[in-house]
Amino acid sequence: MDLPALIEALRRVLPERERIALHEPEFGLAERQALLDCLDSGYVSSIGKYVDRFEQELAAYTGASHVVAVVNGTAALHIALKLAGVEQGDEVLMPALSFVATANAATYCGARPHFVDSEFTSLGLDAAAMDEHLRHVAVASKEGWRNRETGAPLAAIVPMHTFGHPVDLDALVALSERWHIPLVEDAAESLGSVYKGRHTGRAGRISALSFNGNKIITTGGGGAILTEDAKLAERARHITTTARVGRGWTFQHDEAGYNYRMPNLNAALGCAQLTRLPAFVEEKRALAARYREALHDVAGLKFVAEPADTCSNYWLCAVLLDEARGSTASASCELRDAVLQATNELGIMTRPAWDLLHTLPMYADCPRAALPVAEALARRLINLPSSPQLGRV
C-alpha cells in the first residue's frame, strides 16, 4: 500500500488543521435558541412540546408512520427487539461486524447474539451466507425455527446499515419471510440513507435510530423507534414511559416498564438539528465524492462506495486496504495499524472498524457462522474523518 500517496490524497481533501476529528457535531444559533426556549418553559424532562414535535418531524422526514423518541439508540433497539417478540433464552441473528450496542440490546432481552457474516458490497449482513447457515443450523419446531445445536429459538434477524450504507434489504426481507423470522433494522447509523427510494428503517415491522453525539445529527443522547404498526407504536410509547397510567392526580404503573423516553431538552436540540439534516447529507456526500476522486489512483486500497440503488448518508467514510503481501491475517493487521499510526500522528483522526463482536469476552461463547468476510473487513478497513463541515468547499 502506497502510504505517502494516501497521506498526500488526504491532505488534498482535508483542511489544514492541527487536528481533524473523525466526526464532530455542529451547532448554531437555532440550536441555542431551541435549548433556551426549552429551559425557559421549565419542561426539560420527558414531557414537553419538543418531544412531540421531534417525533412528528422525524416521521415526516423518514416517511415512517409512527416514531417514538427515546434516550439512546441502544434503548430503541432493546424495545424494538422486545416488541418483535424476543424473549429470555432466544437467539438473535446479527452481524459480527457491528457496534457492541447491537449485541447488548439482545442481551437486555435475555437473549443471546448469534453472529453471521457480512458482504463486501454494503459491509452489512450477507443474506445468501445467512441462508446457507440457517439451512445447516436451523431445525423446525412447533414454535418456529430453533438452533439445532443449542435448542434456542431463532427469534429475530437484525441487519445494521454499516457506516450509513444501506444493506441489501430486498434479500433480507425475502430471507425473513422465507424463514418466518422477524426482521428488526438497526438503523442507528443511517438517518438520511435511502434504499431504492425508501428511507432505511422501514423494511421490517420495527427499527431503531440513534442520535448520539457522533451521528449525522445529534440530540446529545437519544434514539428513536420507527414502525408502521400503530399498536406497536402505542405499546412502545407505554413501556418506555415506565408503563405509567395517569389517573387524575395519581400515577399508576401496570407493568415493569422502562424510563426510556427522550427528555424535552434533548428533543429541542434534535428539532433544530433536523432542519440542517438535508444539508448535512449533501455535505457528507460531497466529501465522499472528493475522497473517492482523490483516492482513485492510490495503490493498495479502495474507497468504500455506496451500494447500487442506494443513497448513503456516508456517516463514516472508509477505505478498504488490499490484503498485505502473503495474505496473512497478521500482515494485513500490521499494515492497517501502520496506516492508523501514521495518519493519527499527523492529526488526521482515523480508526479501524469495531472489534468483531464474537471476539469480545462476554460474547466469545455465542453461536456463530463462518465469518470470513467480517474478519477480512476488520483487519483491512479504516474510517476517515467524516464531519459534514469537511464537505464544504
Averaged over successive runs of 10 residues, the pLDDT of the chain (393 residues) comes to 95 95 97 96 90 98 98 98 98 98 98 98 98 97 95 98 98 98 98 98 96 97 97 97 86 93 97 98 98 96 98 98 80 94 98 98 98 97 98 82
The answer to whether the Cα torsion of 363, 84, 156, 317 is positive or negative is negative
Determine the pLDDT at residue 7: 97
pLDDT number for residue 46: 82
Please give the domain boundaries of the chain with CATH numbers for all domains: 3-24+277-391 (3.90.1150.10), 29-274 (3.40.640.10)
Radius of gyration of the chain (CA): 21
How do strand 184-186 and strand 206-210 relate by DSSP bridges? parallel
pLDDT of residue 329: 83
CA 162/CA 349 separation, integer angstroms: 19
Q: If residue 310 lies in a helix (H) or strand (E), which one and from where to where?
A: strand 310-311
pLDDT of 52 = 96
Model pLDDT for residues 140-176, shown as the tens digit of each residue: 999 899 999 999 999 999 999 999 999 999 999 999 9
Q: Which of 321, 355, 362, 354 is nearest to 338 (CA)?
A: 321
Per-position DSSP letters for 60-93, written without gaps between them: HHH--SEEEEES-HHHHHHHHHHHTT--TT-EEE
